[in-house]
Amino acid sequence: MNKPVVVSEEALVAPVIVPDLKPGSAAPAGVAGPAYVVLAGISFSHFLNDTMQSLIASVYPILKDNYALDFAQIGLITLAFQFTASLLQPVVGYFTDKKAQPFSLAIGMGFTFFGLLLLSVAHRYGIILIAASLIGLGSAVFHPESARIARLASGGRYGFAQSVFQLGGNFGTSMGPLLAALIVVPFGQPSIAWFSSIAFLAIVILWRVGHWYKPQITAKKMAPLPAHPDAPSSRRVMVALVVLVGLLFSKQLYVASLSSYYIFYLIDKFAVSTQAAQLYLFIFLASNAAGAFFGGPMGDRFGRKYVIWFSILGALPFTLALPYAGLYASAVLTVFIGFIISSATSSIIVLAQELMPHRFGMISGVFFGFAFGFGGLGAALLGKFADHTSLAFVYQICAFLPAIGLLAVFLPKLPRTAH
């Protein structure tokens, strides 16, 4: 039997063998390309993880009615969840850059497991915030290492692998409102505990993925790869990273504004039921998932900067029209918005990883943590703003957020081998 192929964490540009998830098993020698079994496992785990996380926003109407919460308090729940992840993800990524922890994913999912159980029985606002923070902690542990595993299993098709990984998360996010409409709304807050079984399934899958990941980690770090002669300077790299964080922040803030308040917007403006509003939110989030999936391969084929520009110029007309559309037109517009605005997510993240390949975990943590977490901070501020104005006015302001993407003009051109 051949020994498992060992791949350095820093030599991420090398192709990876197609693995068997069984502990101790080895793949046939000489087989290269994406490790589809691992990609499927990590994407499905992302789906389960984000399905559970999206339940937080999906049960906001129930929590608002049960505990007489205002929009500012709703925004603070989003902040408690996303700020925990924002604060810890870069720390987790920095630590795992130095010493990878193959079973940390399964352990991190345990925080989500206990967070769901606590949320199902929480009867005070403070307990709700603690439960949301625990689920955010699970996200902080999950995303940096799972993004690393997705890249290791990419076989060099980094945009494709990132899209498969993102597809699971975005599709899971879109399932939250649907499951809330079918289960949580009819059966109430205690039914959230039923979703802890999903967390347990994710723990089992991630434990098996950890067995594949463990032999891929070298005990001794290799020397840094030499820089490409056409690579941008360190100053250009830092400017580009700041721009990419700004781009992802603008996109995530707009998505957070819809995922947190779109239900209330539809109920207030069109007098639809809570269940119907959740179905409309599902439509937006499902299109968001589809855009994230197709955007990665498009970046591999045409270049990441082109996909980023498409996302900017394509989404803006639809976001500007949304506050003035009727109910059914709004549903159609959100399909275009969700697909276009999310198409650049994989390209933004992969481009950032290519700019700093030797700090992969930390960069993944910064983008999955800070950019997504600041979206939660923005959602809390938008909630406060909505209390003093109206949700309709908030969406008129948010319509201009994609225009921040014009900062993409400052992104450098990477060597062709980076694509």
Highest averaged pLDDT of the listed ranges 98-102, 110-114, 155-159, 286-290: 110-114
Tell me, what DSSP letter sits at residue 181? I
Contact by Cβ (8 Å): 40, 165: no
**Helix, strand, coil content of the chain in percent (nearest 5):** 80, 0, 20
How does pLDDT run across 254-310, given as a tens digit for each residue? 888 887 788 889 998 999 988 888 889 888 888 887 887 788 788 778 888 888 888
* Structural domain includes residue 4: no
Instruction: For residue 331, count CB atoms less than 10 angstroms from its CB and return exposed for 0-12, middle for 13-18, buried for 19 or more.
Output: middle
pLDDT at 332: 95
Dist CA 87 CA 141 (whole Å) = 11
* Confidence band, pLDDT 50/70/90 cuts, at residue 103: confident
- Distance from CA of residue 222 to its chain's centroid? 30
* Structural domain includes residue 332: yes
pLDDT at 28 over 70: no
pLDDT at 9 over 70: no
* Structural domain includes residue 338: yes
How does pLDDT run across 35-58, given as a tens digit for each residue? 788 888 888 988 988 888 777 777
Range of the domain at 188: 36-221+230-411
Q: Which residue has the tokens 């915030």?
A: 129
Structure tokens at 348: 């933004």
Highest averaged pLDDT of the listed ranges 87-91, 158-162, 229-233, 325-329: 325-329
Q: Which residue has the tokens 């207030």?
A: 268
| Number of domains present in the structure of the chain | 1
Instruction: For residue 265, count CB atoms less than 10 angstroms from its CB and return exposed for 0-12, middle for 13-18, buried for 19 or more.
Output: buried
* Structural domain includes residue 356: yes
Residue type, 72: A
* Structural domain includes residue 136: yes
Strands (E), 4-60: none
The CATH number of whichever domain residue 405 belongs to comes to 1.20.1250.20
Q: What is the reported pTM?
A: 0.65
Q: Which string of b and e fits 55-75 if b means at least 16 CB within 10 Å?
A: bbbbbbbbbbeeeebebbbbb
pLDDT at 359: 73
* Structural domain includes residue 31: no
* Structural domain includes residue 8: no
Dist CA 262 CA 256 (whole Å) = 9
Dist CA 405 CA 25 (whole Å) = 46
Q: Which residue has the tokens 């463990």?
A: 214
* Structural domain includes residue 2: no
Where do the H-state alpha helices sit in 214-233? none
- Exposure of 53 in the CB half-sphere (CA atoms within 13 A): 35
Task: Taking residues 317-335, report their average pLDDT.
Answer: 94
Tell me, what DSSP letter sits at residue 113? H
How does pLDDT run across 368-404, given as a tens digit for each residue? 666 666 666 777 788 888 888 888 888 888 899 888 8
